Structure 1
Amino acid sequence: MNKILWVCHFLPYPSTGHGALQRTHHLVRQVAKSFDVHLFVVDEVEDHEAVSAALGVKSISSIKPRTGLDKVLPMCRSLLGKSTYWERLFYHEALHAQIVSAAAVEPCLVILDTAFLAPYVKHVNCQTLIVNHHNVESALLAQRASRQGGALTALFDAQATRTAALEIEISKLAAHHWVVSLEDSMRLRSVVGDVQTFIVPNGVDVEYFSPEPRATVSQIPNSLVFAGGMDWYPNRDAIKWLAEELWETLVNANPEHSMTIVGKSPPTEVLQLARTDARIEVAGFVPDVRPFIHRAFAYLCPIRQGGGTRLKVLDALALGCPLVATGLAVDGLQLKDEVHFLRADDGDSMANALERLEREPELARELARNGRNHVIEHFSWDYIGSILVDFLSKSSSAERTARSKFSA
């Protein structure tokens, strides 16, 4: 069985964009080297043939996602029913029909790029079902509910409960669950029980993200950088925390600090801070983050929510940028404090860590070397791809029918 139907809630191309997009882009390309991959996406595709060639897949089927007021109906149906908002948002009957048709000729392996795509496996001639978990979504929603207030707490708590029920239901049908780390495997099992998980870590293109020779880089002393799309709640929360609390502590410790924040949808709090403090630069979305990280003295990652692993942390390590981060920010990356990075979970410890890097340049160089070597050894996409292809080769020889009983 070499045929794989890969169902995704976005087009994983180009590789620039949010973390899940980058991850799926590279996983699809690696798997397509050894299997006949047919991609089904809830997204607009301008040139199916060109994108198929770039990803190495046999075909791409797509449907335009809901936008604007079209998003309201799924929300209403979710509020009045028992399904999650994202199940309703991503489901399109026409795309479902194409998946059923593609699987009708022969049994095939189906990969869902999130549990929210579960309705698409109804009536599909599926020999093996795999769910790719970028995060444990119910845990992420529960974390967000805990930090909301008023009606939003109840809304996110309800969605977290429904998402957990969905994860339990799809776990009964899936032969395997891909997770990004041992920690996420434990989180998923705490929700759904004892299931077959396989760790497919996030990775990095270690050739594209490589350090520049020092002679060609104009590094800015005391400069910090953070990169990540702030339409993803954990990133947004981190930057709001920076703007509202952390920055004052950091500049009180060293008024020479400057900070560049890269990524789309920056929150109002940091935009307001940038207007009153010239040391803050909000770059917004950029097609290439490398120059911003190259020129930085250190990469600061104040993530305090979320699961999964941080692709931008891997990018920074691959670029040889010293890393100061919370423990949660490096969750699942097997990094050792004071070997690969400096751990700091509040403003004072971040200020102390940055002061150490300024005072001990050899420590900064050692962290940069160790961080890049760790990424090359454990997180290059070619290495991850070889493990994944071996796993799929073994899975394709085992017959297991996984049919959905979901209603649309």
Structure 2
Amino acid sequence: MGDILFLAHRMPFPPDRGDKIRSYNLLKALTDLAPVHVGCFGDTPGDFEHESELAAVCASYALLPRKKSMVRAGAEAVLSGKPVSLTAFEDVKLAHWVERTITEKNIQTIFVFSGQMGQYVPADFHGRVIVDLCDVDSAKFEAYAKDGSAPRSWIDAREGKLLASVEDRLAQRADHTLLVSDAEADLFRSRVKNTLTCNISVVRNGIDTIFFDPQNIVPQGEFAANNGPNLVFTGQMDYAPNIAAAERVMDRLLPKIRDRFPGAIFHLVGRAPVARLTRRDGEPGIRVWGEVPDVRPFLAAADLVVAPLEIARGVQNKVLEAMAMARPVLLSPEAATGIDATDGKHFAIGCDDADLILKAVALLGDGPASLIMAAAARRYVSEHQGWSAMLRPLVEICGYDASEADRNAA
């Protein structure tokens, strides 16, 4: 069946944020099918510290530092008429490596992880092309533009319009275009020009329930010193939807929750918090931790995990992680998208601020009910959201049959 060329906009190791968790698990699954050659970028020194792990799983690789600033990418994008997010990942060295790898290796399949990397697929490549968009980035930028103010809203509107064209062209080019949920797939179908010439499939996110197992984790020690209750939000904290969700808790939800529970503390746990979040650390009921070595002790110690995102694309790993850690989870309808669990049984959905406050107070005030929900959440993800089950469709998508894939994995 030949080798696979895997192109990712970020180094898949370590799998410590949403997109990297997905690319890491996709890469592992693909290496069970065939030799895989990986081309990707490293954003931080920490990415390069894990280069040996990348080398251990692939047949060859190119890991390049992404040095282009967003200011430079923006200027180049304006001059070229391209989206900024594509220009930011445009690199001559990687393009040459891709060309050389296709020439020298028996590449039969190119697997593109995230639309930014579609620019590296040669026009004359005649093998199988699979594009994992994950979610519809163009729609995300359109939402930013709608909710933002000038001049940023103009930039986001331009990005959304240009990305929509790029996504459509990729879908027409690819043998399979993958989205992370049925909702994202339906949204994408509504935006492409000709669905008859596109093969759009869903490969959902999973969760490693062995790694995220509360039985193996000691809860974060400082939480025990709080009168509580302790509310936790996790995520990449320079990402606009996460910033907005955190500020929603701080400004609109927490004060009302503290009216009922004066000792309630909101713990913000995640990498790279922006200045306007770090400045809030130490305000009544607010603790900004920033990056931590391991998020699991914080989840294990939480009385309630909250995810009130107002813009959310795809399946939220933060929600699956909290559910796997057997914690009660309160989330917005947007954050629940793509997770086929039941509101009121496996997690609680609040439709607006008032509803989120009401349900937070109810869960925090009823310990037995919260524990029942938490246990049901753990059972749900263990039975329905494991990565092996979620990625099983890759066998057919990549052109293998199940028996051949099992032989290769063995």
Matches within 5 A, 1:106-121: 106-121=106-121
Corresponding residue to 2:211 among 189, 200, 208 = 208
Q: Residue 107 of structure 1 contacts residue 126 of structure 1 at CA under 8 Å; is this kept in 2?
A: no
- Shift in Å at residue 384 of structure 1? 2.2
Which of 311, 327, 337 pairs up with 1:331?
337
**1:347 and 2:353 are equivalent in the alignment:** yes
| Residue matched to 1:128 | 128
Q: Which residue does the alignment assign to 2:311?
A: 305
Partner of 2:281: 274
Matched with 1:358 is 364
Gaps of 5+ in 2: 403-410
1:173-212 matches, within 5 Å, as: 173-192=173-192, 193-194=194-195, 195-212=198-215
Choose 329-338 or 234-243, whichever is displaced more. Answer: 234-243
Quick check: 2:250–2:266 contact (8 Å CA) kept in 1?
no
CA contact (8 A) 2:207 2:385 kept: yes
Q: Which amino acid aligns with 1:312?
A: K
Q: How far apart, CA to CA, are the structure 1 residues paired with 2:62 and 2:126?
A: 18
Residue 186 to residue 282, structure 1, CA distance change in 2 (3 Å): same
Q: Deviations over 1:87-144 (max 9, x none)?
A: 1110112211111121125451111111122221124534111111122100111111
The Cα of 1:19 is off from its aligned counterpart by 0.6
Cα distance between partner residues in 1 of 2:277 and 2:219: 31
Deviation for aligned residue 1:337: 0.8
Q: CA distance change for structure 1 residues 49 and 124 in 2, over 3 Å: closer, same or farther? A: farther
C-alpha distance 250-47 of structure 1, shift in aligned 2 (>3 A): closer
Query: CA offsets, 1:257-292, max 9 Å, x none?
Result: 111110123244443332332x21111011210110
1:315 is aligned to 2:321:
yes
Q: Counterpart of 2:20?
A: 21
After superposition, the Cα gap between the structure-2 partners of 1:246 and 1:127, relative to the gap in structure 1 and judged at 3 Å, is same
Query: Match of 1:252?
Result: 259
Distance 1:48 1:362 in 2: 42
Question: 1:240 is paired with a residue of what secondary structure?
Answer: helix
| Structure 2 CA distance for partners of 1:170 and 1:41, relative to 1, 3 Å | same
TM-score, normalising length: structure 1: 0.89
Q: Secondary structure at the match of 1:332?
A: coil
Q: Distance in 1 between matches of 2:308 and 2:34?
A: 39
Structure 1 counterpart SS, 2:391: helix
The aligned counterpart of 2:237 is: 230
Distance 2:77 2:220 in 1: 51
- 1:70-219 counterparts in 2 under 5 A? 71-105=70-104, 106-123=106-123, 125-192=125-192, 193-194=194-195, 195-212=198-215
Q: Distance in 2 between matches of 1:321 and 1:230?
A: 21
CA offset at residue 53 of structure 1? 4.6
Q: Report if aligned partners of 1:104, 1:125 keep a CA contact under 8 Å in 2.
A: no
**Does 29-38 or 209-218 show the bigger shift?**
209-218
Q: Say which is worse superposed, 23-32 or 207-216, in terms of deviation.
A: 207-216
Q: Give 1:37's aligned residue.
A: 36
Cα distance in 1 between the residues matched to 2:283 and 2:189: 47
- Letter of the structure 2 residue corresponding to residue 273 of structure 1: R
Check 1:96–1:336 CA distance in 2 against 1; reply closer, same or farther (3 A cut). same
How far off its partner does 1:346 sit? Answer: 2.8
Q: 1:146 to 1:215 in 2, by over 3 A?
A: closer
What are the superposed Cα offsets for residues 282-330 of structure 1, whole Å, 9 maximum, x if unpaired?
1101121011011111111111102111101100000000011111111
Name the SS of the counterpart of 2:4 in structure 1. Answer: strand
Which of 308-317 and 188-197 deviates more? Answer: 188-197
* Correspondence for 1:50: 52
Kept in 1, the 8 Å contact 2:257–2:361? The answer is no
Q: Residue 291 of structure 2 aligns with which residue?
A: 285
Aligned to 1:60: 61
Cα distance in 2 for partners of 1:52, 1:267 equals 30
Moved more, 216-225 or 283-292: 216-225
The TM-score normalised by the length of structure 2 is 0.89
Matched residue of 2:212: which SS? coil
Identity of aligned pairs, percent? 23
- State the AA in 1 paired with 2:179: V
Equivalent position SS for 1:94:
helix
Greater relative CO, 1 or 2 (CA 8 Å, sep 6+): 1
SS state at 2:129 partner = strand
Q: Flag the 1:49–1:248 CA change in 2: closer, same or farther, 3 A.
A: closer
Whether contact under 8 Å (2:146, 2:153) holds in the other structure is yes
What do the CA deviations read for 1:42-97 (whole angstroms, capped 9, x no partner)? Answer: 2277478722354x2211112221244xx433211212332101211101122111
Per-residue deviation, 1:395: 8.7
Letter matched to residue 51 of structure 1: E
The root-mean-square deviation of aligned C-alpha atoms, in Å, is 2.3
